[in-house]
Amino acid sequence: MLKRSSKASFFPNAYVFPGGNIDKADSSFRWFSVFHLLTRNVESLGQNFIVHQHDEMRSPMFKNGKNNVNSGLPNEISLRISAIRETFEETGILIAHSTHENSMSPLPENNWYCSVIEWDHAEVEIWRSKVREDANEFLNLCIQNKYVPDIWALHEWSNWLTPTFMPKKNSKRYDTVFYKACLKSPPSYTKQDNSEVICLNWESPSTTLLSYHNQKIILAPPQVYELGRLLNFKQHQVLARFTSKRRLKGLSRWLPVRAQSTDGVLMSLLPG
């Protein structure tokens, strides 16, 4: 969990999952040359992420995705690149394959656990600074070092839209896809960027929720809901297996809805 800066324009001081805004660089056709390091059939790369879901139920975030090498990456791929890039910016964790490894396996399609690059810490900070200033530098990072973002290990989990009743101080609205990526163990090097993020914690969902219910930390409704879902999994192996099995089932867009009870109490209703 990451603690947002007090200067953040949206939910300052709240604890959130790694992530951020998309950038047009994340859908650049140049990414095809990066994925070519793992597969020659890059034109059909998006076929690995076609979900088994009726169009009317599919999140609108994916309905207008691009699907050929001439127009850029499909959203199923570009949004995963965005998530991996933002995670690298905020934590220093690079979820990717190194194609320098002689033991590089064939194109991964059903990963339980994500691949993480372990590299020189000073080099990490140099590239984080570059990527923070220009998202195109993440593409350059991968090209120069022959790293391929491990998009196969990011599984669709949920899609949240900011509700319409937010107060003016939090007037921004976001349409956000949550992906689930499982690590076998914490990487050897992680560090908050001390810009957008001022604290980084590795802890169980129950610990985070306890802090929230004791009013020690701030959580937005999606984080409360999603951490509660994770309580259903007592072991990370069970979670990894579950997310892998449901990876192509798709997702729908959710948002909290405000309702008033008969005795005048305002409530924010969540899915389920």
Q: Global pTM? A: 0.90
State percent of the chain over pLDDT 70: 91
pLDDT in tens, 47-79: 888 888 888 888 888 875 544 444 578 899 999
* Selection from 137, 139, 101, 140 nearest residue 119 by Cα: 101
- The token duo for 113 is 């656990």
Evaluate whether 96 touches 81 at the Cβ level (below 8 Å).
no
| Mean pLDDT comparison of 53-67, 79-93, 248-262, highest-scoring range | 79-93
When comparing pLDDT for 125 and 64, which is higher?
125
pLDDT for 168 = 62
Mean per-residue pLDDT, 134-153:
96
Cα 217–Cα 222–Cα 228 angle in degrees, nearest 5: 75
Q: How confident is the model at residue 109 (pLDDT cuts 50, 70, 90)?
A: low
Mean per-residue pLDDT, 184-207:
91
The per-residue pLDDT of the chain, averaged, comes to 88
pLDDT for 162 = 87
Using the structure block, give the residue that is written with the tokens 């389920």. 272
> What DSSP state is assigned to residue 151?
G
* Selection from 3, 72, 17 nearest residue 226 by Cα: 17
pLDDT in tens, 216-232: 999 988 999 999 999 99
The kind and range of the H/E element at 56 are none
| DSSP conformation letters of 242-259 | HHHHTTTS---EE--EEE
The count of C-alpha atoms lying within 13 angstroms of the C-alpha of 26, restricted to the half-sphere facing its C-beta, is: 21
Indicate if the pLDDT at residue 4 is higher than 60. yes
pLDDT for 103 = 43
Indicate if the pLDDT at residue 17 is higher than 90. yes
Q: Rg of the Cα trace of the chain?
A: 19
pLDDT for 117 = 95
Look at strands 253-254 and 155-161 and give their pairing.
Answer: parallel
Strand (E) positions, the chain?
2-4, 14-16, 96-98, 147-149, 155-161, 175-180, 197-200, 218-219, 253-254, 257-260, 266-269
State percent of the chain over pLDDT 90: 59
pLDDT for 205 = 96
The 3-state DSSP class for residue 161 equals: strand
